[in-house]
Amino acid sequence: MYAVIETGGKQYRVEVGTELEVELLDAEPGAEITLDRVLLVADGDEASIGHPTVADATVLAEVVRRDRGPKLINFKYGPKTRRRVKKGHRQELLVLRIADITLGGKSAAALVAKATDAKKTERARLEEAAARQAAEDAALAAKLAMKAEATADAADSTADGTEPTAGADATAGADATAGADATAEVAEVAEVAEVATKKARSARPKAQADAPALPSDDDAGDSADAVETSTPGDSSTKKGS
């Protein structure tokens, strides 16, 4: 809801909480004044236009402080008369804060307070939902941490060859059993591989003893020289003789 008011010969558009500077009025800071020259009041799609003012419409304002406007220079110049007049002026102002706008028993301040309470209620509801979600997440994280710790304890116990702790659950026991089975299989495979290695090492000297002796590099060189010495011509001579 907003209103258009007239004071000091000027018009202002105001809402609840608006601060504005108006021409000086006879009021002290902290006092409340009523502005009855209301030209228009609008609430959503409804508007009441005054002729010239709206009946049963008032604007309640609180005086914040007194102030002075910017300095204005008034300079008068008379040609050919050597007349020069320079004056300064600062307008006395009154700073107002709009507290309420009423029209026919309907208060804008009440509507604003109701909307503020609704926002606070919605914020509190969201904060409560966020706190509840955070608590659920913390509980889930703690549960997962306990489960991971139990699984780690079970794995350590299996590696040491001892029984799992009493605090391990069914999942940890199943993981420990699977780990023990895998360890046994690995040990069995290692044992079989060790036996095969020993057999291979024992059979190696026997195979070397049974194998025929290979000619050495010197014997191979002598044979090659003998082959090169016996030429085809020498063979025919030996055959004819």
Please give the helix or strand (H or E) that residue 98 lies within, else none.
Answer: strand 92-103
Average pLDDT of span 130-151: 89
Q: How far apart, in whole angstroms, are the C-alpha atoms of residue 122 and residue 38? A: 35
Query: pLDDT band at 220, cuts 50/70/90?
Result: very low
- pLDDT over 90, % of the chain: 28
In this prediction the pTM is 0.47
Q: Which amino acid is at 167?
A: G
CA dihedral sign, ordered 54, 42, 49, 35: positive
Average pLDDT of span 189-207: 69
